[in-house]
Structure 1
Amino acid sequence: MNAPAFFTAANFRAEREGDWARLEALLDRVERKSPRRLSEDELIELPRLYRATLSALSIARDTSLDAGLILYLESLSTRAYFLLYSGRQPWRRQVVDFFRSGWPRSVRALLPETLLAAALFFASAIGGYALVVSEPQWFGAIVPDALAGGRDMQASAAFLRDSLYGAPSRGGLEIFATQLFTNNAQVSILAFALGFAFGVPTMLLLAMNGAMLGAFYAVYVPHGLGWGLTGWLSIHGTTEIFAIILSGAAGFHIGRAVAFPGVRSRMAAAAQAGRRAALVMIGVVLMLLVAGLLEGFARQLVMQDAGRFAIAGTMLLLWIAYFALAGRTGGPGRG
């Protein structure tokens, strides 16, 4: 009588990786060229391979196999899903599906990178604050003169207070706000685009932006205006900083795939990670647009700290609830 076979990760992979490799090869060919390049037999084979991959993904999750394999199967099944189904949907349905499930699922898949990006950003803000408080000369090295606009360590309390609560028609803070938004948009795009360099430039950009935030707090806090600065920044900053952190997470996601490709080549790993990160970045652009509207209108109309914090808190809760709950059922690789 033969001894019973035991389930192992090695056996699981050996029995199924032929199907995965075959599916990946067909997807690569379609994405490089066109579905018309597939034969009739290959077109029939695609749905079978997709279902087999979904089944393997379900087993891998239920048995808690290694995270790298689960991530690979999620990516593979998502690519196959969009190839098989998204082309049959009108563009309006694809837009709805992006907001309903595609974007929030992609953000949830980047949770470890998001936590890392957030920790780095806020740790850098604390470091920048401490550095400027101890040595005020550092402010000029951290914050460009054009962005500071006179809001430096020599500024008076009256000038700083007016910058937070003065009438919008005076224009000083509006120029500063536009410069800050432009800077943050550039940082977001670069943090994502440079992620392929093992995430190092992404790390530096997040640290630089966080230190800049801390440096401004070092200017306002000694004058008793830290709370007011927080209210002024947060009315659009809960959206804008969230977008920066997500763009950093997207860059880290690509960098991790390049540094640790697993069973795939670095190019294939980076390509798969890039597709997921690109979905996140489409949403980041939309978040930056929302932040721009909040900055241009809500911040101008709401001059009281309580109102600013109410808007900021509402936006933050909406983003967290959306990313945590949307797209939890249906489709490939359920969240």
Structure 2
Amino acid sequence: MTIPVFGVSQFRAEREADWQQLEALLDRVERKSPRRLSSADLVALPRLYRSTLSSLSIARETSLDGSMIAYLESLSTRAYFILYGVREPAWRQIAGFFAHGWPAAVRGIVPEALIIAALFLGSALAGYFLVLADPGWFNAIVPGELANGRNMQASTETLRQSIYGAPEKGGLEVFATALFTHNSQVSILAFALGFAFGIPTLLLIASNGILIGAFYTAFISKGLGVGFTGWLMIHGSTELSAIILAGAAGLHIGRAVAFPGARSRLAAAGEAGRRGALVMIGVVLMLLVAGLLEGFARQLITDDIARFAIAAGMFALWLVYFSFVGRRAHG
């Protein structure tokens, strides 16, 4: 039903003062700061917002002119973001993420992280002994493009050169890039598949552990286990930690979906998903750090002791950061 023109004029006359007052307060906040509002303004702001929403509802129901409806919609949207939106500057949000959000989120998934770490290590041992018992399993476990000639049939010198030699075209850098790409894909999938009760996440982590174990069989059989560990862990202490956290984030969601407790499954999954998303933002950053270590440090540093020192230092850094940073003071 369309109301007559005089009804529109009367409607505007009765309510326009509130709209103008709300608009003036919003302009002041957007151009300057919420601190410029007085106590009376702060009390008036939500009241004016509700009044404007009421006006918008009436205008829509009674089919008032489109320009008025558009104005009220714009005013209501602005007021909503002022009242309920995040007003912190971007730099403060980023600082808060590193100072509290990310480490706190990681501490919230410690049980799942321990499960994923145990599964990964157990799968690596299984992969090692499986290939040790039957070397034919290596090619079934490790894709050819990932192995790139580093397999059970490779000579000792070939494997040694891959660890300590200068990178050549099509050699170590191809293997390193393939390994980094593979691990990045595993991290993303481990998290994304967590919604299916965490089962695909567990399978994915197990398959990746078996793959690493198969590689160890090839290098240990040639007496290069220590060297391969240093070569792998100079970046792997960060990269594999990122995979474990990604898997833990996925399992955290899966556990919430499977066992929501007193909450609904949707609410439990939403809460776990928000925590997992914070973890995954950090996982991406860890993978970037691992990529830098993989692209530079591992190519330039060939001494085993130096490699282990860097690996241990990075692992200790992450452990201390996630354990102690961002804890709230008590008392």
Instruction: Give the TM interval when normalised to the shorter protein.
Output: 0.7 to 0.9
How high is the sequence identity, in percent, across the aligned residues?
64
| Deviation, structure 1 residue 222 | 1.2
Larger CA deviation: 262-271 vs 193-202: 262-271
SS in structure 1 at match of 2:149: coil
| Deviation, structure 1 residue 267 | 1.4
AA partner of residue 138 (structure 2): F
SS in structure 2 at match of 1:88: coil
Residues 46, 83 of structure 2: 8 Å contact kept:
no
Aligned residue in 2 for 1:31:
none
Aligned residue in 2 for 1:245:
244
Aligned residue in 1 for 2:227:
228
Aligned residue in 2 for 1:314:
313
CA distance in 2, matches of 1:328, 1:319: 15
Tell me the TM-score normalized by structure 1. Answer: 0.73
Q: Which runs of 5+ in 2 are unaligned?
A: 1-44, 50-81
When residues 137 and 200 of structure 1 are mapped into structure 2, their CA distance, relative to the original with a 3 A threshold, is: same
Aligned residue in 2 for 1:292:
291
Could you report, residue by residue, the CA deviation over 1:106-154 in whole angstroms, capped at 9, with x for unpaired residues?
Answer: 0001000000000000100000000000011111111001101111111
Note the 1:204-223 alignment, pairs <5 A.
204-223=203-222
CA distance in 2, matches of 1:265, 1:299: 48
Q: Which runs of 5+ in 1 are unaligned?
A: 1-38, 44-82
Larger CA deviation: 293-302 vs 165-174: 165-174
| Deviation, structure 1 residue 40 | 4.0
When residues 189 and 323 of structure 1 are mapped into structure 2, their CA distance, relative to the original with a 3 A threshold, is: same
Residues 86, 94 of structure 1: 8 Å contact kept:
no
AA partner of residue 247 (structure 1): A
Q: How many residues align?
A: 254
Runs of 4+ in 1 over 3 A off after TM superposition: 83-86
| Deviation, structure 1 residue 170 | 5.0
Aligned residue in 1 for 2:303:
304
AA partner of residue 92 (structure 1): W
| Deviation, structure 1 residue 85 | 9.2
Could you report, residue by residue, the CA deviation over 1:249-297 in whole angstroms, capped at 9, with x for unpaired residues?
Answer: 0000000000001112111111111000000000000000000000000
Larger CA deviation: 104-113 vs 264-273: 264-273
Aligned residue in 1 for 2:148:
149
SS in structure 1 at match of 2:221: helix
Aligned residue in 2 for 1:176:
175
CA distance in 2, matches of 1:169, 1:277: 39
1:258 counterpart = 2:257: yes
CA distance in 1, matches of 2:83, 2:194: 29
CA distance in 2, matches of 1:186, 1:235: 20
CA distance in 1, matches of 2:276, 2:84: 21
CA distance in 2, matches of 1:182, 1:167: 21
CA distance in 2, matches of 1:309, 1:191: 28
CA distance in 1, matches of 2:254, 2:85: 28
Could you report, residue by residue, the CA deviation over 1:229-262 in whole angstroms, capped at 9, with x for unpaired residues?
Answer: 0000000000000000000000000000000011
CA distance in 1, matches of 2:234, 2:175: 15
Residues 192, 251 of structure 1: 8 Å contact kept:
yes
CA distance in 1, matches of 2:167, 2:146: 18
Note the 1:1-335 alignment, pairs <5 A.
40=46, 87-169=86-168, 171-329=170-328
Could you report, residue by residue, the CA deviation over 1:55-106 in whole angstroms, capped at 9, with x for unpaired residues?
Answer: xxxxxxxxxxxxxxxxxxxxxxxxxxxx999813101000000000100000
Residues 113, 252 of structure 1: 8 Å contact kept:
yes
Residues 194, 254 of structure 2: 8 Å contact kept:
yes
SS in structure 2 at match of 1:198: coil
| Deviation, structure 1 residue 305 | 0.5
CA distance in 2, matches of 1:233, 1:178: 13
When residues 310 and 153 of structure 1 are mapped into structure 2, their CA distance, relative to the original with a 3 A threshold, is: same
Higher relative contact order, structure no. (Cα contacts within 8 Å, ≥ 6 residues apart)? 1
AA partner of residue 107 (structure 1): V
CA distance in 1, matches of 2:227, 2:258: 42
When residues 86 and 284 of structure 1 are mapped into structure 2, their CA distance, relative to the original with a 3 A threshold, is: farther
CA distance in 2, matches of 1:145, 1:169: 18
When residues 86 and 329 of structure 1 are mapped into structure 2, their CA distance, relative to the original with a 3 A threshold, is: farther
CA distance in 1, matches of 2:196, 2:94: 31
Residues 196, 255 of structure 1: 8 Å contact kept:
yes
